[in-house]
Structure 1
Amino acid sequence: MRKLTLLRHAKSSWSDRANADIDRPLTSRGRRGALKIGTYIEQNKIFPDLILCSPSRRTRETLAQIDPFLPDGTEVKVEPSIYSAGNGSGLISYLKSSAIEEVHVMIIGHNPTMQQMALDLAERTPDNGYHLIEKKYPTGALTQIRFDIDDWRDLGGRGQLVHFVTPKMLPGSTDEDEE
């Protein structure tokens, strides 16, 4: 059994146009949204063995917001290829070809990559939330997919969509909690 959790970075700021895209920080709304997702992670025991994080400031700040909700010692690797991963097929290949032994991997990245990976890897059933992922994958969205495989090299089919949640879906949220 393998689990993949995909987390799109929380809401980031475009206020300083002089900043390069990779250097955009989270907004206060983004920090609040990431904390809500962190609470959800803790309440649902979504504890990855390994986190692969884009090097962008907004993904690293999202990670910092959820970190207090994760077990101490969770392994984190900043993976540059996540920043420019395109439609996600490259990250799927990365999972399949890397020597990743961890059972539960979380990727903290960007759209369209996170949405496309979720659509490519999750089974579509009438009531599992797949249709919500098709419509929109807002900032702060989290998806978890479970695969009936023993090795990431065997990743090839679709897995069971276990979780799909956005900050707006969680208690205390307002309409402005995501884009």
Structure 2
Amino acid sequence: MRQLILLRHAHAESPAPGQADADRALSAEGQAAAEAVGRWLLEQGLSPDCVLCSPARRTRQTLEAVLGVIGYVDQRLEPDIYEATPGALIALADRHCDTGRLMIVGHNPGLEQLVALMESGQSGDYRGMPPAGVAVLTLPAGAAIEPGVARLAQFWWP
């Protein structure tokens, strides 16, 4: 079995006038929530082998806070995660099919739709993913990442 951990960025500040969405920073609440995610992952024994992260400031800060708790993990910024569709996220994860426990730090609606698609086969079946929400999907070893192939093993948020 292998695992795909999907982490939505923690709560971010509202954009300042003229500020690009990608430049929004975590709020104090978001920083605390991201640290809580790190503690939860550590308690569950779910440290990832590799992390793919959107280049948006709030996702990078979420990942930094998580790694501040769990320690260093191989990580890569992936521009394709920002505003990604479930299909784009599947393609990205499939390129890392040799990773036993892969974590993607990204955004809604792509992440919450991906959870639904991977579990039920229907992207419209999603029920929401709050800021700093974590979905842990379990997949058969060697299986292609495709609709309906995964089981939602855990879902948590601070």
Structure showing greater radius of gyration is 1
> Which residue is 1:115 aligned to?
112
| Residue number in structure 2 paired with 1:101 | 98
Look up the match of 1:144. 136
Q: Counterpart amino acid of 1:78?
A: L
Percent identity between the aligned chains?
A: 31
Gaps of 5+ in 2: none
Task: Write the deviation string for residues 2-30 of structure 1: whole angstroms up to 9, x where unpaired.
Answer: 21000000000115132100000000011
State the distance in 2 between where 1:118 and 1:15 align.
27
How many pairs align? 154
Distance 2:2 2:97 in 1: 11
Greater Cα offset, 156-165 or 137-146: 156-165
Residue in structure 2 matched with residue 33 of structure 1 by the alignment:
33
> What whole-Å deviation, never above 9, does each CA across 1:131-166 have from its counterpart, x for those lacking one?
xx8332111100000111225xx2234212111011
TM-score by length of 2: 0.90
Give the superposition deviation at 1:39: 0.9
Structure 1 residue ranges (4+ consecutive) displaced by more than 6 angstroms after TM superposition? none
Counterpart Cα distance in 2 of 1:7 and 1:26: 14
Q: Which residue of 2 is the match for residue 22 of structure 1?
A: 22
Aligned positions of 1:44-83 closer than 5 A:
44-72=44-72, 74-83=73-82
Alignment-mate amino acid for residue 166 of structure 1? W
Deviations 1:40-89 (A, max 9, x none): 011001111110000000000000110022243x1000000000213x11
Note closer, same or farther for the CA distance 1:99–1:59 as it changes in structure 2 (3 Å cut): closer
The whole-number CA distance in structure 1 between the counterparts of 2:16 and 2:136 is: 33
**Aligned-partner SS, 2:91:** helix
* TM, length-normalised to structure 1: 0.80
CA distance in 2, matches of 1:56, 1:134: 23
SS of match in other structure, 1:14? coil
Q: Aligned equivalents of 1:100 and 1:75: distance in 2?
A: 15
Equivalent position of 1:163 in the other structure: 154
**Matching residue of 1:176:** none
Shift of 1:90: 1.1
Q: What is residue 88 of structure 2 aligned with on the other side?
A: 90
Match of 1:77, as an amino acid? R
- 2:3 counterpart SS class: strand
Identify if the C-alpha distance between structure 1 residues 135 and 155 changes in structure 2 by more than 3 Å, giving closer, same or farther: closer
